[in-house]
Structure 1
């Protein structure tokens, strides 16, 4: 089973502006690749199946179509049910089947792609972003400033510009990072609607479980 975990990588979630209700499939401007810091999620969801001692670091939350003006399309029609083949493919990318189904219904349906192509695109997006060695599972410092986390990602991804990602916190704790990508999955500058949401100074990085 090919779980993308920070040396592998799995991912996890949405965006920063108000969502648009529905939308036309394929009618969007860029993608956000959202990588969730699993230990933070597991602090408040200890019984979730991704929190059963698997030692995840960053995991796939989702690949989200976005509007440059802010917001994003959501739950576009039709919501095609995933086949067994598509579920097997998604299981190599997402930490849980429930998250896979949710992300396809909310975000994947707006990509303009059939499910298998959307999952292949998500796989390619994951492979395009290198997780810094300092943020690999079991190798993370207990705290860093959001600006330091951004710098580590830029160092590991030389094509990423100075405004190519955002760091998201829950209170004083790292929650996820969001990387802006073109529709062809090249690094892109994030618009003002995708920005870091962390306090100044160091933020806590919970240890893997």
Structure 2
């Protein structure tokens, strides 16, 4: 009896952990909201100096991707695609993404789970980029000194009046700015981020590498 009780308790714990764990597989179109991820290119280039985007073009924030997400945490990934990227869609995507490699990766991992074909996913991504205004302090060759994550959030809220207090997250690598993630609903309007989308930076000021 004691063995059976312990086994039942273990099963309950494992079930709870499985329910709480982020989901990485799903059906295309079955998600709750989007995250627009904007990468701070100079930080990426510190560790990928040979990448195509790191060629002295002066990039600041660049599109990382538009990601379908679950409200309870986690996200669908690598769904059965509605279509493959055509040559025309690759050309279209290159007006949004900084490299073809990134474009193809983002479509395969995240875009296929949006529930629309590649052309419409790129249209949605373009719309999302228009929704989020980059603060003037982060425009090309106009980089602020070190800032706390909360100050970066404040600058984004100031430039985007419709963004709520919990509408974005700042992501760091150590004490260096890596990216910002903005929560948008399925209609691509600002939305509050769930607890799974939160700032991931140490306290105090963080370094913001200069554009190059």
TM-score by length of 1: 0.90
1:125 counterpart = 2:128: yes
* Per-residue deviation, 1:20: 2.3
- List gaps (5 residues or longer) in structure 2: 1-19
Give yes or no for contact 1:19–1:73 (8 Å, CA) kept in 2. Answer: no
1:39 counterpart = 2:38: no
Q: Distance in 1 between matches of 2:114 and 2:161?
A: 27
* Per-residue deviation, 1:79: 6.7
> Which protein is bigger by CA-based radius of gyration?
2
| Moved beyond 6 Å, runs of 4+ | none
* Per-residue deviation, 1:80: 3.4
- CA gap of 1:79–1:113, structure 2 versus 1, over 3 A, is closer
1:111 counterpart = 2:114: yes
Matches within 5 A, 1:54-133: 54-78=57-81, 80-133=83-136
Deviations 1:19-42 (A, max 9, x none): 523211100000000000000000
Matches within 5 A, 1:157-172: 157-172=160-175
Structure richer in helix, relative to its length: 2
Q: Distance in 2 between matches of 1:27 and 1:59?
A: 27
Q: Distance in 1 between matches of 2:140 and 2:41?
A: 10
SS of 2:38's partner is: strand
Give yes or no for contact 2:80–2:112 (8 Å, CA) kept in 1. Answer: yes
Partner of 2:187: 184
Q: Distance in 2 between matches of 1:21 and 1:66?
A: 10
- List gaps (5 residues or longer) in structure 1: 1-16
Equivalent residues, number: 193
* Per-residue deviation, 1:141: 1.4
Q: Distance in 1 between matches of 2:30 and 2:122?
A: 18
Partner of 2:3: none
1:28 counterpart = 2:31: yes
Partner of 2:141: 138
1:175 counterpart = 2:178: yes
SS of 2:179's partner is: strand
Q: Distance in 1 between matches of 2:129 and 2:23?
A: 25
1:155 counterpart = 2:158: yes
